[in-house]
Structure formats: structure tokens, C-alpha cells
């Protein structure tokens, strides 16, 4: 049996972020032994992915950034272009491989954090702690005893919800033999794509140079597409909408992010907590997760350093979650046109303020101001019926 003060299950964004914060304790704070349990190479490892977020100035992980931008652009369904400078914010892109390399370099020099490669089978709460039952790479059973356990593994199924949509996407990392991209501007939402019967779709362009970019097709809808469906949508977007030809696809990424008003349990036993997407870090209205993971893990690390009970805080405020529930219901019921809904917001609200709103960083009067720029009657009707809607399990994508 291995023993540690803290065991972290899973080495995705949340697990690595918490381990990194605990690896560098501030002078004079408690020093804790930490064991990071990472799945062996195989299907239990998270796929390579790209995370985007926004923040003021320099950040903790800037050394791993692929790119950062101050200018964002949105195209309405009718083709109107909206462009804005989001200063003092910067929109940042980080790839999981670069993030893992940066964190791994720092963890390798830490005396507090040790890494274990093993498959976690169960996490069992015990008196004053928990047991993490694992199977080592060679097949041997191995148990970790820890005072506190933070589990970041994806949930096997989603909690029951009144509304659940899926944000699903397929992206191409492309290279062109001539300059075709504006490296200073992100195409955040391009609604000049064919819209699905329920939800919305848009194109997304993250230029990493004048010849390279990540180009994605994204839908918010109840069901995912086939691989052929995503490829056809991306060909239409790059060729017919953007007018790009001769692109070389050097890599791809695909993902599915639940957008749900389901409540996520942040504690499963007295000493066992969930962090990351499993702990509700994904913003229901947008699918963004990385910034909320940083807030959550920062709070946990501070509590541990101070000797307090380290229950992860809610990743998003109750007011934000309530507004998201209304928006999801309005989209899913068809009361609002999804593309028109978001285009209307970007047309009427400065992008910097809208990004703060989407990150839950606005004050009440700003939230009310944004709300008044949505289709008020359909939103009020959706809000009025929410208390009467049953919560049902989601069957899965």
C-alpha cells in the first residue's frame, strides 16, 4: 500500500493543474505529499485536445500557449461582420501536449508530487481518508491510501437534467501554401453555416500564422454527426464559405462536450471530491472548461495549504447556472433561433463585456443588461416552465 496526503486521480487538465499548484507550495504553508495517478497509454487516457480561454495579461501557463489574440470576429447568418478588440483580455489557445509537457517538467523537479501509472478501478471512502484501488501496469493490484482524494475521471453517464444538448465538433489543423489567414484575429463564431433543425452550428478559425490555422465545424444539438457528416460540413465551410482551396490537413481533432443544466456532485464520500468536468467545471451555455478548472483547483490548493476542508467550490455561480438553464431550454424548445440568438448578443454587447459575462465575471446590473438584449418573451416563458420540468437521465451521444 502506498500512502499520501493527497491522491489525484487522472492527469487531464484538472488533475495536472491541481498537482502543479500543490507541487509549488508557498513559503510557510503546509507541505503535502501528493500522488498523481495517471492511466497507462490506451483508451483510458484523454485524447489530444485544444483548450481555449481568456484572461487578463500574462497567465500561469503562457509558456505553453500556441497563440493568443486580442481581436475577435463574428459573422452573423446574414453575413454581417462584427469585430472587436477585447483588451485588456486576451483569447488564448493551448494544446494538451504542450500543457502536459510544461506541467510534467515542473512535476519532475518537485519533492512533493510523485506520479504513478496505473488503472484506477474503484475509490472507496474510509474513516479519515480513502482508498484508491488500482491495477499496476504489470497487472498487480495496488492500493493507495490518502487523506484526501480528488477524482477527475470522466463520468460514466450524465446526471439527470431538464435539458441536455451536445456541443460536438470536428476540426482540421491546416496548412496552406500561400498566406490566407489573418494571424491577429480569431473567427470566434461564423454562423454562415447551414443550421440544424434544433440548436445551432458555426465555423471557428484559430489562426496560428498566415498559412496555418485550426478550422472547426461546431454544432449545439441533441445528436452527433457521422465522420462523413463532419468532413462534408468542414469542406463546405472552408471552400464555399471561406473560399479556401489547396488546404493540407496535417492533423484533426474531434470532441463532444455536454451542455446540461444537471447538478454535478462535487463530493462522493467524506474525503473524496470530483474536480474538472466531472465536478461541473464545464460552462453549460458555452462548453468552455479550462478557466473554471483553474479557479476550482486554485481554491482547492489554497484550502489544503491552510488546513481547511478542501471541498471544491462551484465552478460557476448559481446565477450563471440559472441563466444557462433558461438559455438551454429556449434553444432546445425551438423558441429562439440559436444562430440569431448569439449573433444578436455579439451585435449589441461589446465583446469584452460578453466574454466576462460568459465567464461569470459580470455584476448583476451587467447581467440584466445582457439579458435585455436577448429575445425577452421566449426567455421568460422558458424560465417560467423550468420549475415544472422533470429531470431525466440523458441516453448519451
pLDDT tens per residue across span 183-210: 999 999 999 999 998 899 999 999 999 9
Contact 336, 330 (CB under 8 A): yes
Instruction: Using the predicted structure, report yes or no on whether residue 27 has a pLDDT greater than 90.
Output: no
Number of H helices, E strands in the chain: 9, 17
Question: How many whole angstroms separate alpha carbon 196 and alpha carbon 212?
Answer: 29
pLDDT at 28: 76
Question: What pLDDT sits at residue 197?
Answer: 86
User: Looking at the predicted structure, is the pLDDT value of residue 397 above 70?
Assistant: no
Distance CA 25, CA 175 (A): 42
- Residue 149, pLDDT > 70, answer yes
- Provide φ and ψ at 363, rounded to 5°: -85, 170
Show the beta-strand stretches assigned E in the chain. 2-9, 34-38, 50-56, 65-69, 71-75, 81-85, 89-95, 113-126, 129-136, 141-151, 164-175, 185-190, 200-207, 212-221, 248-260, 267-269, 272-274
pLDDT tens profile 29-60: 788 999 999 999 888 888 889 999 999 999 99
Of 60-69, 239-248, 303-312, 366-375, the range with the lowest mean pLDDT is 366-375
Say how far apart CA 104 and CA 313 lie, in whole Å.
26
Cβ atoms of 213 and 137 closer than 8 Å = no
Provide the 3-class DSSP secondary structure of residue 180.
coil
Alpha carbon 11 to its chain's center: 15
The predicted pLDDT at position 396 comes to 65
Mean pLDDT, the chain, integer: 94
User: Residue 30: its pLDDT value, please?
Assistant: 80
- Asked whether residue 395 carries a pLDDT value surpassing 80, the answer given is no
Instruction: Tell me: cis bond preceding 233? Omega within 30 of 0 counts.
Output: no
Amino acid at each position: 500500500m502506498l500512502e499520501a496526503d493527497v491522491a489525484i486521480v487522472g492527469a487531464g487538465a484538472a488533475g495536472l493543474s491541481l498537482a502543479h499548484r500543490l507541487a509549488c507550495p508557498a513559503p510557510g504553508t503546509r507541505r503535502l505529499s501528493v500522488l498523481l495517478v495517471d492511466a497507462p497509454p490506451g483508451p483510458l487516457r484523454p485524447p489530444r485536445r485544444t483548450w481555449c480561454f481568456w484572461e487578463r495579461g500574462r497567465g500561469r501557463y503562457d509558456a505553453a500557449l500556441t497563440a493568443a489574440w486580442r481581436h475577435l470576429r463574428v459573422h452573423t447568418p446574414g453575413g454581417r461582420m462584427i469585430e472587436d478588440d477585447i483588451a485588456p483580455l486576451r483569447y488564448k489557445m493551448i494544446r494538451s501536449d504542450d500543457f502536459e509537457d510544461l506541467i510534467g517538467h515542473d512535476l519532475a523537479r518537485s519533492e512533493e508530487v510523485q506520479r504513478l501509472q496505473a488503472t484506477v478501478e474503484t475509490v472507496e471512502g474510509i474513516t479519515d481518508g480513502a482508498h484508491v484501488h488500482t491495477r499496476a501496469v504489470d497487472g498487480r493490484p495496488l492500493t493507495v491510501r490518502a487523506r484526501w482524494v480528488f477524482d477527475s475521471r470522466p463520468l460514466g453517464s450524465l446526471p439527470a437534467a431538464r435539458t441536455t444538448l451536445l456541443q460536438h465538433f470536428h476540426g482540421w489543423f491546416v496548412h496552406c501554401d500561400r498566406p490566407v489567414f489573418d494571424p491577429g484575429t480569431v473567427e470566434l463564431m461564423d454562423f454562415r453555416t447551414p443550421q440544424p433543425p434544433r440548436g445551432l452550428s458555426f465555423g471557428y478559425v484559430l489562426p496560428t500564422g498566415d498559412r496555418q490555422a485550426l478550422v472547426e465545424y461546431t454544432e449545439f444539438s441533441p445528436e452527433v454527426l457521422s465522420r462523413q457528416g463532419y468532413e462534408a460540413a468542414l469542406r463546405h465551410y472552408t471552400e464555399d464559405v471561406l473560399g479556401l482551396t489547396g488546404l493540407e490537413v496535417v492533423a484533426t481533432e474531434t470532441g463532444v462536450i455536454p451542455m446540461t443544466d444537471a447538478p454535478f456532485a462535487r463530493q462522493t464520500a467524506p474525503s473524496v471530491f470530483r474536480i474538472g468536468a466531472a465536478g461541473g467545471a464545464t460552462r453549460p451555455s458555452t462548453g468552455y472548461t479550462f478557466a473554471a478548472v483553474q479557479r476550482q483547483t486554485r481554491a482547492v490548493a489554497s484550502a489544503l495549504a491552510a488546513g481547511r476542508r478542501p471541498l471544491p467550490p462551484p465552478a460557476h455561480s448559481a446565477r450563471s447556472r440559472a441563466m444557462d438553464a433558461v438559455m438551454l431550454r429556449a434553444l432546445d424548445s425551438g423558441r429562439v433561433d440559436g444562430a440569431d440568438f448569439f449573433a444578436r448578443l455579439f451585435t449589441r454587447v461589446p465583446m469584452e463585456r460578453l466574454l466576462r459575462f460568459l465567464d461569470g465575471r459580470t455584476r448583476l446590473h451587467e447581467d440584466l443588461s445582457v439579458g435585455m438584449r436577448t429575445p425577452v418573451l421566449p426567455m421568460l416563458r422558458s424560465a417560467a416552465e423550468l420549475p415544472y420540468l422533470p429531470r431525466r437521465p440523458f441516453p448519451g451521444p
